[in-house]
Structure 1
Amino acid sequence: MTSHPALKKAIATLGGQVKLADAIQTSQQNVSNWLRTGKVAPDKVILIEKVSGVSRHELRPDIYPPDQVA
């Protein structure tokens, strides 16, 4: 099983996989799959950020790299 600390934090913030899934209009099975694979669906990253406060950079650093600080 792949660890995904940012997604786990979002799940904990909302109170469980089902509540996160409901908040972003997807299924609990999708959330479980993202935990297993370590990859959140790209079209759900911004929604998860909005409902949980977990940054897009944490959720998908491959798509949303951290801002460069000069």
Structure 2
Amino acid sequence: MIQIVERGAARAGGLAKLAFALGIRHQAFYSWKRVPAERVLAFERLTGISRHEQRPDLFGPPPDVAAGHIGAGPAASQAGAGHPSTGARK
């Protein structure tokens, strides 16, 4: 069984519960080489594991990584840019 399914099952309360919620038999997980495209969104909803982590081949890297904003929040990009909250307005 692939690691992402093991992690997802742990988050969902077990393999049987995850399979039931996905509407499949738990044995199906053993044939997965990766999460099938038609199951990605439901798997994400049930486990909290991002679609980007499950299938980067379909969804690419997470948006923060793709935009190059790793570790930088919106406040960092606006600091001192004349934003009203900085008091820079006259």
* Shorter-chain TM-score above 0.5: yes
Whole-angstrom distance in 2 between the partners of 1:44 and 1:22: 13
TM-score, normalization by structure 2: 0.63
* 1:22 match: 20
Letter in 1 for 2:13: G
In the alignment, does 2:56 pair up with 1:61? yes
Would the aligned equivalents of 1:40 and 1:60 in 2 still touch at CA under 8 Å?
A: yes
The 4+ residue runs of structure 1 with deviation greater than 3 A are none
TM-score, normalization by structure 1: 0.78
Size of the aligned set, in residue pairs, is 65
User: What's the RMSD between the two structures over aligned residues?
Assistant: 1.6
Would the aligned equivalents of 1:10 and 1:54 in 2 still touch at CA under 8 Å?
A: yes
Gaps of 5+ in 2: 69-90
Q: What is the percentage of aligned positions where both structures have the same residue?
A: 32
